[in-house]
Amino acid sequence: MLILVLLSISSVEGQGGGGGGVIDVVTKFGAKADEKTDLSKPLLDAWKEACASTSPSKIVISKRIYFVSTATLDGPCKAPIELQVQGTVKALADPGAFKEPKWISFNRIENFKLSGGGVFDGQGTTAYKREGCKGHAYYGSLPINLRFDFLTNAMIQDITTKDSKQFQANVLGCKNITFEHFTISAPDESPNTDGIHIGRSDGVNVLNSEIKTGDDCVSIRDGSKNLVINGVTCGPGHGIRIGSLGLFKNEEPVDGVTLKNCTMTNTSNGVRIKTWPCNSPKLGLVGTEVSGPQNLRYK
Ligand SMILES: *[C@@H]1O[C@H](CO)[C@@H](O)[C@H](O)[C@H]1NC(C)=O
Ligand SMILES: *[C@@H]1O[C@H](CO)[C@@H](O)[C@H](O)[C@H]1NC(C)=O
Ligand SMILES: *[C@@H]1O[C@H](CO)[C@@H](O)[C@H](O)[C@H]1NC(C)=O
C-alpha cells in the first residue's frame, strides 16, 4: 500500500497527473487561500481529474482558510478517492445566497474517504437569527453543510462540521458508511441543526464522535438498517431520535439500531422514538436495542 502511494506520487510529479496520486488543490489548480476567492472551481477541477484516475488518488486542501460557495462532488469514480481537508472551509454567511438545501455534497461514489482534521464552517449564525423570526420562507432551502448521497464503502474520519444553517450532515441511500472522530458543533439555540440525519441507508456506523448542536444529535428516518452508534457524546441538543415514522404510506421499516457506550450531556431527551398514528402496516422497528444503563450515561 505504501509503495503504491509513493509510486502514485512520483507519477503525478513526473507527468503532471492523470495517473492518480496526490493532488494539492492550491498548488495544482491555482486556488487561493483567502476568504473572498471561491475554491469551488479549483476543487471541482481537482475532483474531475482524481475521479477519472484509474489508480487511487487523494486531493489535499492544505492547512489554511478557504471559501467555497457550493460544491457537488459526483461519482462514479474509476478508483478509490480521498478528500483530505486539513484547513478550514467556510460557506457564505448569507442564507439567501443558497438556492438549494445543500452546501458541500458527495454523490454516488464508491470507496470514498473524507479525512484530514479540517473544518467545514457553515457560518450559520445569521440564519439562526432569521429563523427566530419564524420566517419560514426559505426554511427548506437553507443549506445542509455536508450531504452524503448514495455512497458505498465510505469513511468520514477526523472531520469537524460547525454552525450549519440546517442539518450538519445528511446521509441518504448509503451502504456501509462510517463516521469516526466526527465532531459537530453548533449553539444550543440553533434551530433544525440535526447532527447526523440518516435515511434509507444500510450499514451506518457513528463511532467515537462528539455532537453538540441545537436539535437532534442523530436522527434516524425510514429505511435505515444496521445502524451502530458507539462511543458518541451528545449535548447540548435533543438527544437521539428514531422517527418520525409512519407519515407516508411507502415508508420502509427501521431495522437493527444498536446504541452502545453513549453519553448524553444536557440534552432535552435521551433516546426517543416518534411515530405517527400507523398509516403503514409495514411500519416497524426490528431488532432495536436502545436502552440500559450500560449503554447510555447521563451527565
Ligand atoms: C466498508 O467500507 C470500508 C471503507 O470505509 C471498507 O474498508 C470495508 O471493507 C467495507 N466493508 C464491506 C463489508 O464492504
Ligand atoms: C466508549 O466510548 C469512548 C468515546 O466516548 C471510547 O473512547 C471508548 O473506546 C468506548 N469504549 C468501548 C468499550 O467501546
Ligand atoms: C444546559 O442547557 C441549558 C439550556 O438548554 C443551558 O442554559 C445550561 O447552561 C446548560 N448547562 C450546562 C451545564 O451546560
Residue 73: pLDDT over 90:
yes
Q: How many CA atoms lie within 13 A of 285 on its CB side?
A: 18
Instruction: Please state, in angstroms and rounded to a whole number, the distance separating the CA atoms of residues 32 and 61.
Output: 11
DSSP letter for each residue of 227-289: EEEEEEEE-SB--EEEEEESSSTTPPPEEEEEEESEEE-SBS-SEEEEE-S---TT--EES-B
Q: Is 188 in the pocket of ligand 3 (CB under 6 A)?
A: yes
Residue 132: pLDDT over 60:
no
Q: If pLDDT is split at 50, 70 and 90, which confidence band does 12 have?
A: very low
pLDDT of residue 209: 98
Active-site residue set: 238
Nearest to 5 by CA among 65, 55, 77, 62: 55
What average pLDDT does the chain have? 85
Residue 228: pLDDT over 90:
yes
Residue 95: pLDDT over 60:
yes
Higher confidence at residue 103 or residue 292?
103
Instruction: Please state, in angstroms and rounded to a whole number, the distance separating the CA atoms of residues 85 and 292.
Output: 38
Q: Cβ of 295: how many Cβ atoms within 10 Å?
A: 17
Instruction: Please state, in angstroms and rounded to a whole number, the distance separating the CA atoms of residues 211 and 183.
Output: 6
- Poorest-pLDDT segment among 126-135, 231-240, 284-293: 284-293
Cell of 123: 457560518
φ and ψ at residue 125, rounded to 5 degrees: -55, -35
Q: If pLDDT is split at 50, 70 and 90, which confidence band does 261 have?
A: very high
Residue nearest to atom 13 of ligand 2 (CA): 261
CB 141 within 8 A of CB 163: no
Nearest to 182 by CA among 140, 202, 154: 154
Residue nearest to atom 1 of ligand 1 (CA): 153
Mean pLDDT for the stretch of residues 230-238: 96
Mean pLDDT for the stretch of residues 255-278: 87
pLDDT of residue 286: 52
Q: Is 236 in the pocket of ligand 3 (CB under 6 A)?
A: yes
Share of the chain above pLDDT 70, in %: 82
CB 207 within 8 A of CB 230: yes
Q: Give 161-215 pLDDT, tens digit per residue.
A: 999 999 999 999 999 999 999 999 999 999 999 999 999 999 999 999 999 999 9
pTM (two decimals)? 0.88
Q: Give 46-70 pLDDT, tens digit per residue.
A: 999 999 999 999 999 999 999 999 9
Looking at domain 65-76+90-132+142-298, which CATH architecture does it have? 3 Solenoid (2.160)
| Residue in 211, 228, 261 to alter for ligand 2 test, most ligand atoms within 8 A of Cβ | 261
Instruction: Please state, in angstroms and rounded to a whole number, the distance separating the CA atoms of residues 74 and 165.
Output: 23
Residue nearest to atom 2 of ligand 3 (CA): 266
pLDDT of residue 126: 79
pLDDT of residue 3: 22
What atom in ligand 2 is closest to the CA of residue 261? 1
Q: Is 230 in the pocket of ligand 2 (CB under 6 A)?
A: yes
Residue 11: pLDDT over 70:
no
Q: Which of 25-29, 125-129, 242-246, 266-270 has the highest mean pLDDT?
A: 266-270
Residue 270: pLDDT over 70:
yes
